[in-house]
Amino acid sequence: MDQTLQSSKKQSYQIFDQIAGTYDSLNRLLSFGIDIYWRNQLLKLVPRRENLKALDLATGTADLALTLSKAKNIDSITGLDMSEEMLKIGRKKVDNKKLSKKIQLISGDGQSIPGPDKSYDLVTISFGIRNFFDVDSSLKECLRVLDNNGRLIILEFSLPKNFLIKAIYLFYFRYLLPFVGNILSKHKNAYSYLNQTVEEFPYGNEFEDMFKKAGFKNTGHKTLTFGIATLYWGDREDN
């Protein structure tokens, strides 16, 4: 991995602090709104048991936490993020939906999760794991805080396999998205950083293998929208 990019990951929350005000609107614009569909697909992987306690890492402005709140069998959702500016916006959204009793957003590092072992039934991360400095240790942390039969679900960008679609996608991702994103967010390189993190991050079988290495069972992955995004999941099963 490029050392400059790896170094940037340690401070990525500062970038998100700086673009928080335009983050949601740019997400809708640059993804053509399809990110909403992707998060709803994640809901289908939520365990069917009742009274679940969920933890959403890199929760940002709480888009996924709010999506999870639609699941009737989830009793509580804790959103964790290091960007206080993103959390401020997320808390306003939660309050506007009158969901403050179900969703709590707190400041914290997804690579060192506050709380005891086996304290959650579900851990989720959407479009955040690629910003983590040490992905392997982060996956082990997720396993640590999951109770027996708990599940980790990760939604992340990936690269299409079809040559033509991949070529079009990479042109958009390398040139159009950074150009428009950097201008509208008024940040010189936030969306260039986004492009770099996506292209260097493992996906498909390679990332699923990292789940297995961390100790997850019943792992799997499913591509979405020609492979532009991928859902990954794995369970904690104690012997």
- Alpha carbon 26 to its chain's center: 16
- The full length of the chain comes to 239
β-pairing, 229-235 vs 217-224, is antiparallel
pTM higher than 0.85:
yes
Counting the structural domains of the chain, the total is: 1
Each residue's pLDDT expressed in tens, for the chain with a length of 239 residues: 454 445 445 556 677 777 777 777 777 776 788 999 999 999 999 999 999 999 999 999 999 999 999 999 999 999 999 999 999 999 999 999 999 999 999 999 988 999 999 999 999 999 999 989 899 999 999 999 999 999 999 999 999 999 999 999 888 888 887 777 777 776 666 666 777 788 889 999 999 999 999 999 999 999 999 999 999 999 999 87
State how far Cα 196 lies from the chain centre.
Answer: 16
Residue 63's domain spans which residues?
A: 3-235
Secondary structure of 37-90 as H, E, C letters = HHHHHHHCCCCCCCCEEEEEECCCCCHHHHHHCCCCCEEEEEEEECCHHHHHHH
The CATH number of the domain where 75 resides is what?
3.40.50.150
Phi, psi (degrees; rounded to nearest 5) at 102? -100, -30
